[in-house]
Structure formats: C-alpha cells, structure tokens
Structure 1
Amino acid sequence: MSPQAAGDGQVLPDAPRGNIVDSYAPPSWRPYLRLARIDRPIGWWLLLLPCWWSSAAAAASDPAAGPLSVWHLALFWIGAVAMRGAGCTYNDIVDRDLDRQVERTRNRPIPSGQVTTRQAAAFLAAQCLVGLAVLLQFNRFAVVTGFASLVFVAIYPFMKRVTSWPQAMLGLAFAWGGLMGWAAHEGALALPAFLFYACAIAWTIGYDTVYAIQDLEDDVIAGIKSTARMFGAHAREAVGAFYAITIALAAAAVRSAELGWLSYLGLLAFAAHLAWQIRQIRGADSARALRLFRSNRDAGLLFFAGLALDALSRSL
C-alpha cells in the first residue's frame, strides 16, 4: 500500500489494493471518487459489457448499417463510468443508515461523515450531467431508450428492504445496455436486443448473488434481503441455474441475430468461465466470493471479443 493510501485511513475492504484512488488521488477528492466507486472499477465494467455485446452483435448482424463503431464503444465506456458512479452515489444516499450497520460499508463516505448528504446530492447531479451529455450523442431512439432505464435505477436501492430479489431489480437496470447498443446502431430494437437484455439480467442476478455472499452475517442483523440470504446453503446451485439461463439466452440471441462462428466461439469461452466460477463457490467464503464476482469482467470480455471479431470480419 502506498503512503498516501496508508495515511488516508479510509480504504474500503472491497476495493482492490493499490487502486488509483487510494494510491494517487488528492485526499480531498477521495471521498467523492469513492462515492462514484472509481476505486472499484468492476461495477462500470459490468454495466458497460452488455452495451458492448449489443453494439458488436448489431454491427455483425447488419453490417449495411455501418461497422462496429469505436466512437460508440468509447461513449458507452464514458457513460458507464458516469452513470455507475451516479447510481452508486444515489444508492449511498438512500442506504446511508443501513450502511452504518454493515461492516463492509460503514466506512463509505456518507455514513463515515466524510461527505454530507447535500454534498453527495450535488455530486450526483454533476455525474448525471456527464451521463446526459454522453446520451445526447446517440440517435433519438437511443436517447429515449436510455431515459427509460432511470425507472429501474430509481427503484433499485429500496428493493433490499421489501424483497429477497433486489438482484433482479439490479439486473433490470444493469442489463439495459443489451438494449442500448442495438438501439444506437440500428435506431430501433429487435428480438436479439431483447434476448441480450434478458441474458444480461440473468447474468447480473447470478454474479450479484455471489457478491452478496460477502454480507450474509451483517445482512441478517440489519434486515437486508438478498438472493444470497434466500438461497442460503443452496446459493451455489442457484448461481449455477442463473448462469445456465444466461448462456441459453445468449445462444438464442446469437442465433436470432444470425451471427457467425466467431460469436459462438466467444459464447463458448463465456460459458466455460461461468462454469469455472460455479465450481469455485465455497459456502460463505467472502474473499473467494469477491474474487469470483470481479472475474465476471473477464467472462464478459471473452464474449465481447467473439462478437467484435465477428463484426469486424463482416466489415472487411
């Protein structure tokens, strides 16, 4: 750990060691960057990947509408970082009292007193403006589609209080890129886009169940509901079922978009990675759960690689 990180005293337990915030950011910036989860990039990767899948699949399915757009991929990356940060800031404002009761979250900027609720709200607004600026670069249909996702974003933080399925609501929000990539390329939606969206929802429920294993004991005390609590000793089997649904829907999406063997190769690599994760799940092992959760970036990138290579091969 760097001297800066050691001197800060607020390094969060689920942040990778040596991350850019704890190691290099000015101390006055750190609470805001932590609100946006810049120290934990896995979140924006998981928000971004369905956008990239759908973009690449649309380009491969309809090369006449244009090749895979590097500009679109870059916009989705900026938008994912901004809107994941906005979503987390909003979530922390809503959950500030619950976060004080959970070991992993009590040192977050708001419950620990580093940032006031009013300051967090102003930071939330700034991030939303960045997201809006990105969204307005797309066609009108994609802009409207993007705004529609805000319904699920607004509802999600409250779900852990009322249902054991908050991961499903997170899926409805985080998987929205499965629609956005297609909408940005085609100016419309079609069956493959909805299948990519459904695939990403199942994937989100699976990996977020793995993530929730970290908080099982504290969640019982705080009364926080989750699929990890609900499935209990059967969490591994439940994650396996959701990952199986993920692959089945991904295969249906690839087939309905009439994609080629490179896309299927990416799908096979994606499936192999998810199968490896299932074999690695061991009860309430928090450290292992966090590692497996983070590994979903690599799983999603394997699928994207196949889709992108398929799109590029058709544009040559």
Structure 2
Amino acid sequence: VIYPFMKRYTHWPQFILSVAFSFSIPMAFAAQTGRVSLTAGILMLINMLWTIAYDTEYAMVDRADDLKIGIKSTAILFGGDDRFMIGLFQCAVIVLLCGLGFLEKFSFIYFIAIFIAILLFIYQQKLIATRILSNYFRAFLNNQWVGLIIFAGILLK
C-alpha cells in the first residue's frame, strides 16, 4: 500500500519497495537461528539493491506518463543517467554476491551462477541502451532469470 503512495512524495519509491521485498530475509534468519547474522544482512542488502535496479527498469517504461501526472520514481530522478545508475546497483549486487560466496565458502558452482548473473545484467544493459520502451520491460522481466540463477547457485553451493 505504501509503495504507490510514496510515488507522490519521493523519487525513491523503489527503495521503499526494496525494504518491503527484503525485510523477510533477516526475519527468516531470526526465526530459524534466533539471531540475525552478517549473512542475513548481506543478503538483505543484495536484495534491496537488486530490487531498486529492476524496479527502475520497470519505471522506465512509465517515465513519460509519470512525468505528465507528477508521479516520482528513480527512473525520473536518474534521467539520462538511468542506465549508469542501474549498472552501479547491478555491480554492487555482484560484488556483494561474490563477497557472500567467499564469506560462506560457497563452491565453484555458486560462482558460475554469479557469472551467469553478470551475463544477464550485461544483456539487460544492452536492452535498456536501445531506449525502446518494450526493451525496458524485457530487461525488467529478464530479472526472473537472474533470481532463478542466484537461487540455484545458493541452493547448489
């Protein structure tokens, strides 16, 4: 409920969404282990950054209409630097995923999954570079594969 409401007041509704989508991570860790570990914090941050990146791609589809009606988003805030900013968020996700893999001593299979996620992020960057609305949406949808690959990498760690 708060996410669409925040579009009226801040250019960062994607951050609000990222908190909503990510807060279950430390809650699940606390429920299972009785504490919130560094791993839980890193996973939450990864998920938040990724959510901001992919929801900005989604917001790029609606940017022109949002500007007309006065709705705010990171896509509007970033303007012509949108692709660069999404890339920064994606790079931060990859760096943190690698750090998590080293911290938790995950296997080589995990790092193969991260490499595939890198390739998917590069593909998304190529899509949004076209500045074609349908490609912004395709980039957004491509994140289902990023999530699946990262999940598989963690599962097969």
- Aligned with 2:140 (options 293, 296, 299): 293
Sort the Cα spacing of 1:278 and 1:174 in 2 relative to 1 into closer, same or farther, 3 A: same
Aligned to 1:87: none
Contact preservation (8 Å) 2:53, 2:90 = yes
State the Cα RMSD in Å: 1.7
Give the distance between the partners of 1:157 and 1:255, measured in 2 at CA.
Answer: 37
How big is the shift at 1:181?
A: 4.4
Aligned residue type for 1:305: A
**Unpaired stretches in structure 1, ≥5 consecutive residues:** 1-90, 92-154, 311-316
Q: Which has the larger radius of gyration?
A: 1
Give, in whole Å, the separation in 2 of the partners of 1:282 and 1:268. Answer: 21
3-state SS of 1:189 partner: coil
1:252 and 1:304, CA in 2 relative to 1: closer, same or farther beyond 3 A? same
Give the equivalent residue in structure 1 for 2:26: 179
Identity across the alignment (%) = 35
Answer whether contact 2:49 2:92 (CA < 8 A) is retained.
yes
TM-score, with structure 1 as normaliser: 0.47
Aligned partners of 1:233 and 1:283 also within 8 Å: no
- Number of residue pairs matched? 157
Please name the residue that 2:58 is paired with.
211
Assess if the C-alpha contact under 8 Å between 1:182 and 1:193 holds in 2: yes
Which of 280, 283, 292 in structure 1 is aligned with 2:127?
280
User: Secondary structure of 1:281's match?
Assistant: helix
Q: CA deviation at 1:225?
A: 0.4
2:93 counterpart residue number: 246
Q: How does 1:135-284 map to 2 (within 5 A)?
A: 155-282=2-129, 284=131
**Residues 244-287 of structure 1: CA deviation (Å, up to 9, x unaligned):** 11111222222222322222222222122112211221354221
Structure 2 distance, partners of 1:261, 1:184, is: 29
Q: How is 1:38-117 mapped onto 2 (pairs within 5 angstroms)?
A: 91=1
Contiguous gaps of at least 5 residues in structure 2: none
Shift of 1:211: 0.2
Give secondary structure in 2 for the equivalent of 1:258. coil
Supply the distance in 1 between the matched residues of 2:154 and 2:120 (Cα, whole angstroms).
Answer: 16
Return the alpha-carbon distance in structure 2 between the equivalents of residues 237 and 160 of structure 1. 22
The answer to which structure has the higher helix fraction is: 2
